[in-house]
Amino acid sequence: AQSVTQLGSHVSVSEGALVLLRCNYSSSVPPYLFWYVQYPNQGLQLLLKYTSAATLVKGINGFEAEFKKSETSFHLTKPSAHMSDAAEYFCAVSEKSSGDKLTFGTGTRLAVRP
């Protein structure tokens, strides 16, 4: 069975500050890991995904995530927060690189202060 744990249901940063959203996974097989973003009253949009090609993955909107097998982590970062980054972020795991049958974390809501 696979699962992900997102530490911190709410994170608040100042505009221009570093964004760090934490995700730890549990998987009995090599995992495929994903980060999705959800803006208010919208569906989910894929930010980035790890499929074993490279441990540092760059995504859209300046976000990136690093896969660390020894720590079973896949934390999402962005060097400088923008007001438009305010949203809810979900980490998810799948047994397939295509992202079928995703198991989601409970989400982290990011607030950006002016």
* Binding region for other proteins (CB under 8 A): 9, 34, 36, 41-46, 49, 90, 92, 97-107
Q: Which is nearer to other proteins, 18 or 54 (CB)?
A: 54
User: Which residues make beta-bridge pairs with 10?
Assistant: 109
Q: Which is nearer to other proteins, 74 or 90 (CB)?
A: 90
- Nearest distance, CB of residue 57 and other proteins, angstroms: 12
Compute the residue count for the chain. 114
As a three-state string, the secondary structure of 44-75 is EEEEEEECCCCCEEECHHHCEEEEECCCCEEE
d(CA 100, CA 13): 32
Q: Which is nearer to other proteins, 38 or 72 (CB)?
A: 38
- Nearest distance, CB of residue 40 and other proteins, angstroms: 11
